[in-house]
A and B are shown apart, each in its own frame.
Chain A
Amino acid sequence: MNHLDVPDGGDPTVFGRRLAPTDRRNFLKWSGTAAATALLVACDQSPTEPKTDLSRTQQQAQAEISGGEVKIDLGTDLGILNFAYALEQLEAAFYHRVVADLYRGVSDKEEAILRDIKRHELVHREFFRVALDGARIPALAVSFGSIDFESRDSVLSTAKVFEDTGVGAYNGAAQFLRNGDYLEVAGKIVSVEARHASAIRDVFGRNFAPQAFDPAFTFERVLRLADPFIATKITLTNSPTAGLADRTSAGEEMVS
């Protein structure tokens, strides 16, 4: 069942329809691309797929995706939601790793916040995984080599980048969602990302809300910020923000 098949849908792609498992398989056969092969792998995962899925090593994950490049078509609502799914995968994998072996000297307050955020990001990731169902991109392989998980500074500064980027990403994507239900659910998530950003900044000794207006990022800028942490190659097509400047000038400075 495709949970995104809602009444005022209006997304004309095949993914917007309710597809039985066999239909989905047939669709994937005739679409015949590398991305579709990867998608097939994802579709075969049962709903009870382990929550630690994204904690697999980069090598294992890459083997499963078989070097597949992930293409996200931002010309459709489902593409935009998949873009959000990619970000949530990244965040969930990061906090999963952080909480699995917390850095030395972590305070009780920091630990409580990191554990809560981990659970929220897992919920967001799983929400998109189930909601997108057959339309979803595969599990991404992450690349956290630049992060020192034993260092408070490294962990919290990376968390700050992820949360601020998430806020800017959802804010920027809002105007391109055609379906009001999707817009609303994105709104329900972005304010929680902003609550996270505030909490991480607070415990990290930074201003919880550095500007009266948060940034609204282009898809390209979000990918540029996230890309160093994602091993899987992501290609954006039909991006409505290709070549556009961001809505705020201070945004990049904020997440750097």
Chain B
Amino acid sequence: MTIDLHRLFAGLDAKSLDRLSTRRETLLSGGRATAAFAASAVPVAIAASVKDAFAASSLPDAVVKVLNFALTLEYLEASFYNRGIRSGVIPSGKDLRIFTTIQGHENAHVSFLKQTLGSQAIPKPTFDFTAGGTLPNPFRHYEVFKILAQGFEDTGVRAYKGQLRALKPYNTYLTAAATIHSVEARHASEVRRLRGSDGWIPFEDPAAPAPIKPVYDGEDNLVQLTVNVGQFQGDRSGTEAFDEPLTKAEVMAIAGPFIV
């Protein structure tokens, strides 16, 4: 395991590695068991309005592009958690409950997007979660699994955020994307805590391993609508209080190595 992690994080010093690895005692000490986790159904009103819009006319091209981009990421996440849970790599108890919840949600997002896109939905790509053999198998190494989970969730948050403008003229789809976007943020927060981190993102992470670093590039931004938000409670809180978007190209550069 140590060797594998060193391969994954080649070039990092021991301190960075320690920061990136999870202390099991932190994981196991947290909160009490939560209730059963069924995947939620697509909200009734959204499903109905999407269906109406779809029946009335074909989806606007801009919407198809954004939703297929989102579907690519949701396919990736759903496949990752489906395999992770099948593999048995996740310890039972709180960890398994958390990832089972997330798995249910990502599969619900896939279903919703496929249903909305209909025949225009792209097919599911083939994924390689070792990124062409450059990473240890996350389905055998739980630390790797959690690092990738965090990376995918934080990327998901930034990816949806980056598409809000493109969806602005299309209220129904904008709202649907917003209601998924915040769920990805709930996931990201939980996975980060599971790894012993805060649930929010402070600054960039230049010391992060290669596949993870670009997930946080640009999170240093302190200027929001011309206001320097570092002036109120310091720079750390200023960056934590605002999540930054990623462009489609930036997201695909992160996800690309995992798509065959």
Contacts and interface: CB of A to CB of B under 8 A. Distances in A.
A, B assembled together: yes
Interface of A: 3-4, 6, 51, 109, 112-113, 116, 119-120, 122-124, 126-127, 130-131, 167, 170-172, 174-175, 177, 180-185, 187-199, 202-216, 245-250
Interface in B70-105: 98, 101-102, 104-105
A196 B198 CA distance: 10
A130 B231 CA distance: 11
B241 A248 contact: no
Contacts of B186: 194-195, 197-198, 208-209, 214
19 contacts: A4-B225, A6-B225, A119-B234, A119-B237, A123-B233, A127-B227, A171-B182, A172-B175, A182-B225, A188-B161, A190-B181, A191-B184, A195-B199, A208-B189, A209-B102, A213-B108, A213-B180, A248-B45, A249-B43
Given A120-B241, A175-B174, A202 B193 contact: yes
A183 B164 CA distance: 7
B78 to A, nearest CB: 11
Contacts of A204: 31
Q: For this complex, into which size category does the number of interface residues on chain B fall?
A: 35 or more
A159 to B, nearest CB: 13
Contacts of B46: 213, 247-248
B181 A131 contact: no
B151 interface: no
Interface string B232-260: 11100110111111000000000000000
A164 to B, nearest CB: 10
Interface string B157-185: 10001001100100100111011111111
Given A205-B32, A211-B40, A213-B40, A194 B182 contact: yes
A209 to B, nearest CB: 4
A247 B179 contact: yes
